[in-house]
């Protein structure tokens, strides 16, 4: 294949649409036959970071571990899609520096919109005080300063967001061809 590895890191609030966009990108890349791994928050919590909580130290350790694994895969030519809230700028920067081939996707859906959707009912529980240290409610989210892509999901479809990610990977030399997504 001679494929260049890269970590594509989706950051944003809970319910912003990270995983949804990530899945569309995944399908498009799989259809092209790329070597691909998805490190999704839930899979990672189960397999790598069980026992970690939501303090800053634990969140940072969580991101550091995802970064460690993403790095191993990336330097072996794999395209790694990471979907994680990853609220802290500094640790995201550390991971970027370590991996090198790193593309940051900011899914910038505003808090009000995420809270209105509240697909998993988590915001409601956080507002009621049943979940503590919930990002955006009583824990900070630090947006990226210069993400490679900003997915503004309140103004564009999932496919448009995914297309922007794919176009970015092409322009940075990680893809030879860009799949064109059907706009649904």
Q: Which residues are catalytically annotated?
A: 86
Please give the residue ranges that form the binding site for its own copies (CB under 8 A): 35, 37, 47-48, 50-51, 61, 64-65, 68-69, 72-73, 76-78
Question: Look-up: residue for tokens 């791994």?
Answer: 37
Distance CA 119, CA 158 (A): 16
State the burial class of residue 38 (Cβ atoms within 10 Å of its Cβ: 0-12, 13-18, 19+): middle
Q: Nearer to its own copies by C-beta: 37 or 159?
A: 37
Q: Kindly state the smallest distance separating residue 49's Cβ from its own copies, in Å.
A: 9
Return the number of the residue (53 or 143) whose C-beta is nearest its own copies. 53
Shortest CB 51 distance to its own copies, Å: 7
- 79, 174 contact by CB (below 8 A): yes
The answer on whether 55 is annotated among ligand-binding residues is: no
Is 41 annotated as contributing to ligand binding?
Answer: no
DSSP assignment string, 98-119? HHSSEEEEEE---HHHHHHH-T
Is 14 one of the annotated binding-site residues?
yes
Confirm whether residue 124 is marked as ligand binding.
Answer: no
Min dist. Cβ of residue 86 to its own copies (A): 17
Three-state DSSP state, 135: strand
Binding residues for ATP: 12-19
């Amino acid at each position: 294949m001679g494929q260049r590895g890269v970590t594509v890191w989706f950051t944003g609030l809970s319910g912003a649409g990270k995983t949804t966009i990530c899945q569309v990108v995944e399908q498009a890349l799989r259809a092209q036959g790329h070597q691909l791994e998805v490190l999704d928050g839930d899979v990672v919590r189960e397999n790598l970071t069980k026992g970690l909580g939501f303090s800053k130290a634990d969140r940072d350790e969580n991101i550091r571990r995802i970064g460690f694994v993403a790095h191993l895969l990336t330097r072996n030519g794999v395209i790694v899609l990471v979907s994680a809230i990853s609220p802290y700028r500094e640790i995201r920067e550390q991971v970027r520096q370590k991996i090198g081939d790193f593309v940051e996707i900011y899914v910038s859906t505003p808090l009000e919109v995420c809270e209105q959707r509240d697909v998993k009912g988590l915001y409601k529980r956080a507002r009621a005080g049943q979940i503590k240290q919930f990002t955006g409610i009583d824990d900070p989210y630090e947006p990226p300063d210069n993400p490679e892509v900003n997915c503004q999901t309140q103004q564009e479809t999932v496919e448009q967001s995914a297309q922007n990610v794919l176009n970015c990977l092409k322009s940075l030399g990680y893809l030879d061809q860009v799949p064109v997504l059907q706009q649904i």
